[in-house]
Amino acid sequence: MAQRIILIGFLLRLMVAFWNGFFGPSFGAEGDAFDQHLLALDFMQGIWPRIMRVNYLYSYVLGAFYSVTVTSLFIGSALSCLAWLGSAYATLASLRLLDVTKRSQAIAMLIFALLPSSVLWTSVTMREPYQLLFVSLAMLSALEIGIAHRHRYWFLMVLSLVGGGILHGGLFGWGVVLIVSTIAWLMTQRKGWITPARLLLAGAAAIVVIVLGYRVFTTIYAFPVDRGLGFAVESYQRGGLSIGVRTDYRTSVAIADNLDLLLFIPVALGQYLFEPMPWRVTALADLEPLVENLLRAGLMLQAMVALWVLPRPAQTPALVVFGSYLVLETAWALGTFNWGTATRHHIPGFGLLLLVAFAYPRRSIPSDRRRDTNPMPMTPAA
């Protein structure tokens, strides 16, 4: 059933891509999506912007694909549909690794396939469907490593995180957190594995990762983190707010020190997750993000219930996934200030939320978790 739902979702996206390519633009295909297409055409013809940015690589690859196929917006949109298809199968594989019931798999994939914003934004020439693909593959790799102990998936994880990091700097930071979380997960599975020498090695590796991340963000992504994360966030927020659009849920931002940043993060995350609030709805188009926000709130509540009632072997992977989801959404929240952009940024991490919300395994869950003194280890579903 879940595979049929994925096929329906793919065909629905292809229909949107076809409309966008020959009759559109479809909703969401104008603006940034069409600009990415035009930039790809420029690259194909050897026209380069005065300032090259790392996130232009998507348009460069798209232009290279145009040069060996046909110059068609439909082709570019269809590639996005294929990226979504890959992410759907990766999400389904993750659900099976978590030993989720087939009924829950079908419900989760139904939401994944038919979420209106996902249908629209993963059918056009945008980076979001590819970000979704890389996030889904990276999480699948983490679960394969942690649950099934298939360590060859480290290669796929690193490859996916590099791909995601090229598309957006926030995914680079998220990838570092995922790698550290996966290593910590493996360490908890082996008694006596933690020794002073290994802790020292882990500390040294953490320092290297922090220094490397600092250099990457200041050089490749040109983020002003050299003056502090608070300054970088405030600068980005003010730059976006200076444009001024109807869907802005923030009018100003002032981050003077680290305490201001700590207070800003939960506020930014709450607004990012749940704006527009009902009293901010002033147009028919606002109803769609409002309904999706209510769905997201329900799924987050269901995920927290799952984390509470799951038996111990299932709790750890669910915690890794949910923690990764919150980290990714927090990263997006720090650079988002209107619910139009937020709708797009919710897409890459949406599959992670579904994994936890439907993470109830096929085995019965004891009513008293304390009775779970000899839990059955999780194994991949057949």
The per-residue pLDDT for range 286-299, each reduced to its tens digit, is: 899 999 999 999 99
Q: Shortest CA distance to 98 belongs to which of 284, 307, 344?
A: 307
Mean pLDDT for all residues in the chain: 83
Could you tell me if residue 326 is inside a domain?
A: yes
Selection from 157-171, 201-215, 242-256, 368-382 with the highest mean pLDDT = 157-171
What average pLDDT does range 213-220 have in this prediction? 60
Question: 331 lies in a domain?
Answer: yes
CA dist 271 → 3, 24, 146, 229, 257 (Å): 34, 32, 33, 20, 21
Question: Per residue in 296-317, pLDDT tens?
Answer: 999 999 999 999 888 877 888 9
Q: Could you say which of 72, 105, 126 is where a domain stops?
A: 126
pLDDT for 371: 36
Of 126, 150, 182, the residue that ends a domain is 126
Predicted TM-score (pTM) of the model is 0.87
Closest CA to 181 of 310, 327, 371: 327
Q: Minimum mean pLDDT among 74-78, 210-214, 247-251, 287-291: which range?
A: 210-214
Is 168 contained in some domain?
no
Number of domains in the chain: 2
Q: For residue 228, is pLDDT > 90? A: no
**Scanning the structure block, which residue is given the tokens 């280890």?**
377
What would the two tokens of residue 345 be? Answer: 């940024």
Say yes or no to pLDDT of 379 above 50: no
At residue 235, does pLDDT exceed 60?
Answer: yes
Q: Domain for residue 368, yes or no?
A: yes
pLDDT at 376: 40
Domain that residue 354 falls in: 268-373
Mean pLDDT calculated for residue range 151-163: 92
Tell me whether residue 159 is in a domain.
no
Which pLDDT does position 375 carry in this prediction? 41
- The answer to whether residue 261 sits within a structural domain is no
Domain boundary among 126, 142, 173: 126
Structure-model confidence comparison of residues 210 and 365, the more confident one: 210
What residues does 100 pair with on adjacent strands? 361
Q: Does the residue 381 lie in any domain?
A: no
109-134 pLDDT per residue, tens: 999 999 999 999 999 999 999 999 99
* Higher pLDDT pick, 202 / 323: 323
Q: What is the mean pLDDT of residues 193-198?
A: 64
Judge contact between 327 and 177, C-beta under 8 A: yes
* Burial group, residue 4, by CB count within 10 angstroms (0-12, 13-18, 19+): exposed
Query: Residue 240, CB half-sphere, CA atoms under 13 Å: how many?
Result: 20
